[in-house]
Amino acid sequence: MSPVRNNPDLSGCRRALRAGRISNGVSGKMKNKKILELETVIESMGDGISLSDANGHFEIFNSKMQEITGYTIEEANSCGDFSTLIYPDPKERQKALEGLKKIRRGKDHKVETTIRAKDGSKKALLVSTTLVGYKDRDMFLSVYRDITEREMIEDELLKSRERFIQVADIAEEFIWEVDTNGLYTYASPAVEKILGYKPEELTGKKHFYDFFAPDVREELKKAAFEVFARKDSFKHFNNPNLHKNGKTVIMETSGGPVMDKDGNLLGYCGADIDITERKKAEEELKKSKEKLEIQAWGQQKTNEAIKLLYKELDTMNKKLQQVDQMKSDFVSHVSHELRTPLATMREANAQLLEGMRGPLNEAQRRYMEISQRGVDRLTRIINNLLDLSRLDAGKIKLERKSVDITILARDVMESLLPQADQKKIKLEDELPPSLPETFIDPDRIRQVLINLVGNALKYTKEGGKIKLSAKRKEGSLEVSVIDTGMGIPDDYLDKIFERFERVSKIPIPGVGGAGLGLAICKELLDLHKGSICVESRVGKGSRFIISLPIYKEKDFLLDYLGEQIQEVKKIHSFLSLIMINVENCSQLKKKWGVKTMTQVQKQLEDLISSYIRDPMDKVIRYKEDTLALVMIGTPKKNGQAVAERLNAQTKKYKFKAKDKTVSLSLRFKEVTYPADGQTEDELIKAVEK
């Protein structure tokens, strides 16, 4: 008997039946054997077999049929209309019966149908029916294949596909399938958003490589097919594509091979995401990073450059300092050289003018005077130059004294009054009767005031006015020189205190000078820790104001001590401080009044000063009732000796107050640096103990 194959095959059954017909002419035993064989075959078949007449009566109903339908042959034959049992739906029944009518001898009629089994379950069957002759009757021979499982699988498959489509529809990724040539067999709706094409424009029409950017298409296509050939899966393959509107879209593709059960490649399927934005962001980030790196490099290089430039500045500075020094040295040297011949000239002129070398006539006298004036002017200029160069070199030391400025001012007025009268300029003062004393170098300040008033005289015309005034302004003293002269243009105001700066390069008759005077004034004021400034209007006049701090006595001593200790330290020498205190000071003040007391104090100061030999020693007023004597280079025992000597000598002295003799009760206390203190504060503390 032929084996069971995929499709129910009737030929075997026919043969079996034919064998039965033929057996009619054969002996009984042989007939039984053949029938047994036949029965065995029919029973053993994996498909259901039935042989029924037009009335639905079953001659053959094998066990598989029983299995499928759930009914036995007896049940099937005794139920009346079997078709009603297995086709509960009249329409289905009708269809089946109609189908039977179409069946002819020798022709196979295949149909898929669904019956109801005895237990109510539905069975899907593939039925092959034909018409055969059996025992002189037309009989329906049917082979039934149970395809319920197959149907279920098909159902699952459908459901599975539906699920897939549902997901593919809503997924943002473009899900695709291509065949082995790369032709799209499936494209999810997302492709429209990503590439601008509808799925139907792709499936069956376009290849995946049709969308690659033209410049890389060939090489990407080649690479892709190489992967196909190896049947490899791939992930995150970046590829540039062209949107329908022409824009470039960067896709990230992942996919895998689709193979049949024999391992043959059917195609590829996978998903793409649009990473254009991501790529853009990555590019931006890279650019930013690069920019930052460049900035950092730039910063580093700039720092290095700054360092180099600083070094350069330093070198330049040093060179400048050198040059400055050289210049000062030069000026000083030259000035000294010039002084000598000038002095000679002056002397020679003077002698001639005195008539020591014979009488001079009028004209000769006049010209000699001109010459002498020239020599004087030259001398002044050279002295100014020397002054400046010494100021520069720090060689000028101030000889400070406690001075009332009004006295200085009046001095200056007196000296210059004759000149003013000569020029018919009114020289007046506006000075208070007195001002607090301050520690200044009176000669230098006098020099400044003479310079200022002298300038005023130079630049003021006949009939003009010059006023010298002084006043206290909080912690400073202000002295002003106001004139009604030419005035100074605005753009020169801040330059006039510079050296060699003169307002007009054109020499004005009667005005001389090398432009050094104001520069020297400024330097001198600076040394005093004071200041000088100017206000002026062209044609109206100028006002020069100098300001000097009122140095408190204590501060001055401390300052001075500090300075001297530094000097003394350098040469590993000593410094001695002797405090001379007037013990009955307040009593005497009450008795004689402040003014008299001040005079007495002055006497004491002068007395002490007269006893000191060394110009390096100084008497400085410390407090109202205390004088300080600072001696440089005096070791302890010498200092003490001096204190004792002074004590003895002052005891004998007769101080005068308002014609009366006063006796001062003086106390002497001595301390030495470094023995009694290393700093000015320590020394003061030690001496006041």
Q: Which chain residues interact with other proteins by CB under 8 A?
A: 294-295, 297-299, 301-302, 304-306, 308-309, 311-312, 315
Give the Cα separation of 100 and 82 in Å (integer): 14
Structure tokens at 295: 């900035």
Identity of the residue, 21 or 289, whose beta carbon is nearer to other proteins in the bound complex = 289
Give the Cα separation of 146 and 117 in Å (integer): 12
- β-strand pairing of 575-582 with 618-623: unpaired
| Secondary structure (DSSP) of 594-606 | HHHHHHHHHHHHH
Give the Cα separation of 689 and 685 in Å (integer): 6
Nearest distance from residue 536's CB to other proteins, in Å? Answer: 39
Residue 66 CA to its chain's centroid (Å):
92
Nearest distance from residue 381's CB to other proteins, in Å? Answer: 37
Exposure pattern of 555-591 as b/e (b: 16+ CB <10 Å)? Answer: ebbbbbbeebbeebeeeeebbbbbbbbbeebeebbee
Identity of the residue, 33 or 311, whose beta carbon is nearer to other proteins in the bound complex = 311
Q: For residue 262, which phi and psi values (nearest 5 degrees)?
A: -95, 0
State the helix-helix crossing angle for 405-422 and 442-459, rounded to 10 degrees.
Answer: 30
Identity of the residue, 200 or 312, whose beta carbon is nearer to other proteins in the bound complex = 312
Give percent helix, percent strand, percent coil of the chain, each to the nearest 5. 50, 25, 25
Nearest distance from residue 215's CB to other proteins, in Å? Answer: 20
Identity of the residue, 264 or 295, whose beta carbon is nearer to other proteins in the bound complex = 295
State the helix-helix crossing angle for 10-22 and 28-44, rounded to 10 degrees.
Answer: 160
Identity of the residue, 284 or 337, whose beta carbon is nearer to other proteins in the bound complex = 284
Identity of the residue, 295 or 364, whose beta carbon is nearer to other proteins in the bound complex = 295
- β-strand pairing of 426-430 with 465-473: parallel
Nearest distance from residue 322's CB to other proteins, in Å? Answer: 15
Nearest distance from residue 401's CB to other proteins, in Å? Answer: 50
Give the Cα separation of 314 and 309 in Å (integer): 8
Identity of the residue, 308 or 320, whose beta carbon is nearer to other proteins in the bound complex = 308
Nearest by Cα to 45 from 108, 104, 128: 128
Nearest distance from residue 327's CB to other proteins, in Å? Answer: 21
- β-strand pairing of 541-549 with 660-662: unpaired
CA distances for 320 relative to 313, 326, 327, 331, 501, angstroms: 10, 10, 10, 16, 21
Nearest distance from residue 304's CB to other proteins, in Å? Answer: 8
Nearest distance from residue 312's CB to other proteins, in Å? Answer: 5
Identity of the residue, 164 or 297, whose beta carbon is nearer to other proteins in the bound complex = 297
Give the Cα separation of 191 and 243 in Å (integer): 10
Rg of the chain on CA atoms, in Å: 67
Give the Cα separation of 373 and 346 in Å (integer): 9
Nearest distance from residue 296's CB to other proteins, in Å? Answer: 10
Nearest distance from residue 308's CB to other proteins, in Å? Answer: 5
Identity of the residue, 297 or 367, whose beta carbon is nearer to other proteins in the bound complex = 297
Identity of the residue, 97 or 323, whose beta carbon is nearer to other proteins in the bound complex = 323
